Amino acid sequence: MQRRRFLTLSAAAAASAALPLAARATVPKPYSWDAGPPMDSAVSFIRWMVENRGEEPRYLRARFERFQNMVGHVDLWEARNKRAFLMTPRDEFCLPSDRGVIYDVNYHSIGFGVTITGPRVVGRMTSSIDVKMGEKVLEIGTGSGYQSAYLSNLTDKVWTIEIIKPLAERTRALHDALIARGYTEFKSINSKQADGYYGWQEAGPFDKIIVTCGIDHIPPPLLQQLKTGGIMVIPVGPPGAQHILKVVKEETGGQIAVKRSDIYRGMPVPFVPFTKLEGDNIKGTHFGKR
Ligand SMILES: C[S@@+](CC[C@H](N)C(=O)[O-])C[C@H]1O[C@@H](n2cnc3c(N)ncnc32)[C@H](O)[C@@H]1O
């Protein structure tokens, strides 16, 4: 069962109260898949975004500078992902006290002992799965909601699972508040609170899967819910030192084969652990299970 709006009104109010939503502008023009900002200069980018998206120049400047840095480091390498990065207001998905630093390279705390992943890692992981319009994408680890918002600028079919209930509720309330302000692309995001180890069977199979918490193996249910020809990115390795693997599920001669490559060519990247639900409680992790 899809639960895009799984909050009751009172739960939504309580969750949004936990992350004060600043009174920010509404989006002045309707979203269009055919429209995107200029990428050639900060001035023309900021002007377009102010006119079309009603966003604040100080955050837009920081976004554009990070964009140029990411293109230079080959974290973004084709037009659709470049547009998606530039269109996604990362400064809406952090703690208010972090707005001034949210375009720096680091991950940042979002409360509940978890983090919003750094922009370069988000850009490289998302570019690696090469999401095309209309493809079905599953994200494990909704966290701040930034990654799913970015995905909704690439396709109109996004599913995301978060294990921490109050965080899942807070982020759903944030997505809904942003939709009400005119970010209608976020209507494509389907959310639920659950243990993402088991994927989202009823919504699958998926063209692409992106896992944003670290584990020491590829969860078999996720591989099973990935279409043949599909691509998954997943941080795999010991606690705090994963390698981000690109996993391609292929069929050759009637046999399913899984091809893996490291998107950072050997450099470990730490992720928060892939935790486990027992009943309603988070207890330990899925490490060591096959
Ligand atoms: C690095 S953080 C969030 C990154 C997120 N994609 C974003 O844009 O902010 C990883 C998230 O994975 C969640 N998580 C950990 N284990 C999980 C599980 N078994 N199922 C679903 N989410 C899980 C954590 O609670 C955390 O919110």
**pTM across the whole model:** 0.93
Closest atom of ligand 1 relative to the 141 alpha carbon? 12
Taking the domains of the chain in order of start, what are their residue ranges? 9-20+107-285
Which one-letter DSSP state was computed for residue 20? Answer: P
DSSP 173-187: HHHHHHHHTT-GGGG
At 8, is the secondary structure helix, strand, or coil? coil
Closest atom of ligand 1 relative to the 271 alpha carbon? 1
CA distance 193 to 148: 14
Interior angle at CA 253, CA 249 and CA 258, nearest 5: 20
Determine the residue type at 137.
V
Q: What is the pLDDT along the chain (290 residues), one digit of tens a residue?
A: 334 433 333 343 444 445 655 567 799 999 999 999 999 999 999 999 999 999 999 999 999 999 999 999 999 999 999 999 999 999 999 999 999 999 999 999 999 999 999 999 999 999 999 999 999 999 999 999 999 999 999 999 999 999 999 999 999 999 999 999 999 999 999 999 999 999 999 999 999 999 999 999 999 999 999 999 999 999 999 988 899 999 999 998 889 999 999 999 999 999 999 999 999 999 999 998 76
Which of 249, 252, 137, 183 is closest to 32 using CA atoms?
183
Residue having the nearest C-alpha atom to atom 5 of ligand 1: 143
Best mutation site among 93, 200, 213 for ligand 1 pocket (most ligand atoms within 8 Å of CB) = 213
Estimate the share of the chain in helix, then strand, then coil, as percent rounded to the nearest 5. 35, 25, 40
Closest atom of ligand 1 relative to the 145 alpha carbon? 8
CA distance 246 to 158: 19
Q: Tell me, in angstroms, the distance from the centre of ligand 1 to residue 61's CA.
A: 28
Determine the topology of domain 9-20+107-285 in CATH: Rossmann fold (3.40.50)
- With a Cβ cut-off of 6 Å, ligand 1 is lined by 114-117, 140-141, 143-144, 146-147, 161-164, 167, 195-197, 212-213, 271-272, 274-275
Q: How far is CA 180 from CA 133, 134, 183, 185, in A?
A: 23, 23, 7, 11
